[in-house]
Amino acid sequence: MPIFRTSLLEAVTALLRTVAQNQILPRCGRLTAADVSRKSADNDLVTAADLAAEVALTRGLRKLAPEALVIGEEAVFANPQLLEAIDRAELAFIVDPIDGTWNFAHGMPLFGSIIAATMNGTTVAAWIHYPQSGETLVAERGAGAFMLGPWGDSSPCRVSKQNVLAHMTGFLALPVFDEDHKTHIASQIPKLGDVTSYFCSAYEYRMLVTGAKDFALNGLMAPWDHAAGQLLHQEAGGYSALCDATIYRPGLTKGPLLLAPSRESWVDLRNMLTPQFNDVSTPGTPSNTKQFWTS
């Protein structure tokens, strides 16, 4: 049963489309060197489009829901303590103005804008907008996940039905894991159908919720990357949890997060890729295993 206001769901969808048209697309392929800056690493970029889009989205969300807390990726970079408010905010919007900034900055059309709405730390609504196609993935907790076309058409999303590991294809970014576990994971990849990474959560979740890809193992847990996508995946019929069986929520900062078509395939993938968690089988009962991703 849906718990989010339909009028607000539609208004946020419209806001994403407007900001994409006014702030993102006019800058696409037209960035100068002065428009691109590095944050924490050489591949961690922010552009003038990210900043302008986050300002516009934040302003728009505050008009739609003045009582809500807005937590944007770029705002968190300036003030990391904002993340601490996710679990206690009655209503919050978690915003990634441009997911796939590296792609965007280098002229690759794999990027999107992401918003998740949370209530008391639980994701209740999700949007991923694709500026270049005009499509938007939308989910409401208890009401399913849908792809909205630019002309008003809508189609339900369903995850893959694949459950044979040797045929499963998915997403996994090896560089984010520590050396010991990177070696183990790399040794298991040939047993799967195919593994890749777009370095863009917006498009990876699109492939998962439409059934084009089967699984994802995520070592990094930024809420703007996963809060919306995890709900979309769940509402499209998928199963997800941290590898220690903890049920995902946006306030969690330590992973990894594993998404699969079903509970059964999730267990099989977890046992193959992260065997240090094999003794845990019940969601919500974390094991006493050490961190194995890089911070």
**Coil, helix or strand at residue 276:** helix
Q: Is 279 annotated as a binding residue?
A: no
Residue 140 near residue 154, CB atoms below 8 Å: no
Q: Is 73 annotated as a binding residue?
A: yes
The rounded distance, in Å, linking the Cα atoms of 26 and 41 is 26
The rounded distance, in Å, linking the Cα atoms of 166 and 157 is 24
Q: Which of 219, 226, 177 is nearest to 205 (CA)?
A: 226
Please list the residues that pair with 146 across neighbouring strands: 138, 156
Expressed in angstroms, the distance from the first to the final Cα of the chain is 38
- Sheet with 145-148: strands ordered across: 69-72, 92-99, 112-119, 122-130, 135-140, 145-148, 154-156
Q: Is 96 annotated as a binding residue?
A: yes
CA dihedral 44, 46, 47, 53 (to 10 degrees): 130
Q: Which of 286, 229, 249, 255 is nearest to 176 (CA)?
A: 255
Q: What does residue 140 show for φ and ψ, rounded to 5 degrees?
A: -130, 130
The rounded distance, in Å, linking the Cα atoms of 232 and 166 is 25
Q: Is 225 annotated as a binding residue?
A: yes
Annotated binding-site ranges: 73, 96, 98-99, 225
Annotated binding-site ranges for Mg(2+): 73, 96, 98-99, 225
